[in-house]
Amino acid sequence: MQEIRTIVITGGPCAGKTTAMSWIQNACSAKGYKVLFVPETATELITGGVAPWTCGTNQEYQVVQMRLQMQKEENFIEAAKTMPEEKILIVCDRGELDNKAYMNDEEYAYVLGRLDMKEDELLQRYDAVFHLVTAADGAEEFYTTANNEARIETVSEAIALDQKLISCWRNHPSLCVIDNDRDFDAKMQRLISEIYDFLGEEETYTERRRYLVELSEHAFEEELRGMQKMDIVMIALKGEDGEERFAHQREINGAYTCYRSSRKQIGEKAISMEKRLSENEYFNALLEADETMFPIHKTRHRFSADRCIYDIDQYEDGTVIAEVRLPQGIENFCFPEWITVKKDITDDPQYENMAIAKRGQAAVKEL
């Protein structure tokens, strides 16, 4: 069956998006993907004479840009469906939510109304979002406006815009931010590693560690307030021996996204895949539910610190599991003081999703 994935490469001014496209082409082609690129719509329009300052108002320009952007993306998806390749990756040079950073709240509401769209619908157009931090933040000596005539921001303006763009995408369940704390090649290598991770290809850059933890008394009222919160329901599906399959429903601020995941051990390697599902596909997947398994319910809070990404999962029985993703070269890290580690469960199969589903998550606390 053909599999089409759509991702966004976004970021602040002079973040390395153009070079990133070349890296993605080479890396993902090597993994057997047909890679298609949707060009950046804003640059197309501005260099052609259509800009916020040439149109009647900024909001009218944004309607034009977002409508054209959607049409282009949909055309690429339709074209991809006609292609013979089984694995197709559509890479969007910026996505619809980037445009929100260039509008105030009133303009944004007006544009959504004109397009007859909700923000949830815009987020769900993409399977994953990868944000490259502007060179102005951490690599100022490489920041330039010379290679893009549509780029007009100063260093301070670029940093402010970069942060605004991250905020626009913060409710996407698969947002990854790539910063400038190492050299440019390392930045690109980390991007490719994160894309490989998303596609279920072999990881080359990050390491995962898992811990059974306790949170301080006021963690949810104080430390976790304002962080991305996701409510997750996982239903185990019937599968071949040795294969773990789940249907996921993830909710952020009332918006629901559904996925199907699979994991299979082949020799010493575990092959994982994840695919976004439409509402109908999700309910069809539930027809394959393994009735001998228990549903898993958990609330996830995600944050990043010192280049590490932390997922804090709280289960219904009060159990809390923390997963930490470490970039290559980092072996030691520290949890914030409001997190206390009880046990390293990185290699403990009793805490894997399938084991929890077999026992019922209320049994986790008994371990």
Say whether domain 207-366 belongs to CATH 2.40.320.10: yes
Average pLDDT, integer, range 80-96 = 95
SS3 at position 104: coil
> Of 275, 302, 279, which Cα lies nearest the Cα of 6?
275
Query: In this predicted model, what pLDDT tens digit does every residue of 191-210 receive, in sequence order?
Result: 888 898 889 876 444 577 89
Residue extents of the structural domains in the chain: 3-199, 207-366
Domain 3-199 in CATH: superfamily? P-loop containing nucleotide triphosphate hydrolases (3.40.50.300)
Integer Cα distance of 190 and 184 in angstroms: 10
Burial pattern 118-157, b for ≥16 Cβ within 10 A else e, equals ebeebbbbbbbbbbbbbbbbebeeebeeeebeeeebeeee
Structure tokens at 313: 């999962």
pLDDT interval class at 270 (50, 70, 90): low
For residue 241, give every residue at least 6 positions away whose Cβ sits within 8 Å of its Cβ, in sequence order, or none: none
Per-position DSSP letters for 297-352, written without gaps between them: EEEEEEEEETTEEEEEEEETTS-EEEEEEE-TT-------TTEEEEEE-TT-GGGS
Query: In this predicted model, what pLDDT tens digit does every residue of 121-148 receive, in sequence order?
Result: 999 999 999 999 887 776 676 665 544 5
Distance of CA 326 to the CA centre of its chain: 16
Integer Cα distance of 235 and 40 in angstroms: 38
CA distances from 213 to 64, 326, 347, 359 (A): 49, 18, 15, 20
- What are the backbone angles phi and psi of residue 74, rounded to the nearest 5°? -65, -35
pLDDT at 72: 97
Average pLDDT, integer, range 270-280 = 71
Average pLDDT, integer, range 244-261 = 84
Q: Is the pLDDT of residue 349 over 70?
A: yes
Contact 144, 190 (CB under 8 A): no
